[in-house]
Amino acid sequence: MKLQESGEMYLETILILSKEKAEVHSVDVGEHMGFSKPSVSRAIGILKNAGYVVMEKDGSLYLTDSGRAIAEKIYERHNVLSEVFRCIGVDDETATADACKIEHAISDKTFDALKKYLAKKAQTSEK
């Protein structure tokens, strides 16, 4: 099943929040993303049914291994793209917003090529 962009955003948000706090709940996700309780509840239900998220009896949300893999992939893309944009002179706010849009659409092939290019450029700069 191909996850939609919104699903990727939810997984990434749960990952980010789990780095900040021991337990993540739907209300935390909604506040972070600016979404309503019903929207978050529906999305979390879809992610649970797809096997990406587990919800404990107390409402705590945890990523499954497959959910974590997707979240980490999107999070890496976000960070790398944001940094690239800042390096070419884009302000922080725009760099972050643009990275958020592109992180879901860029192909693995292009992203890998971009990372290789940046690594090569960094090596050249260090010499």
pLDDT in tens, the chain (127 residues): 568 889 999 999 999 999 999 999 999 999 999 999 999 999 999 999 999 999 999 999 999 999 999 999 999 999 999 988 988 899 999 999 999 999 989 999 999 998 888 888 778 877 6
- Tell me what pLDDT residue 77 has: 95
- Tell me what pLDDT residue 120 has: 84
Q: Which DSSP symbol is given to 2?
A: P
Q: Which CATH number fits domain 5-69: 3.30.70.890, 1.10.10.10, 1.10.1200.10, 2.60.40.3080?
A: 1.10.10.10
- Tell me what pLDDT residue 1 has: 55
Residue type, 44: I
DSSP secondary structure letters along 18-75: HHH-S-B-HHHHHHHHT--HHHHHHHHHHHHHTTSEEE-TT--EEE-HHHHHHHHHHH
**Sign, CA torsion 28/101/2/38:** positive
Answer whether 36's CB lies under 8 Å from 26's CB. Answer: no
CATH number of 74-126: 1.10.60
Domain locations in the chain? 5-69, 74-126
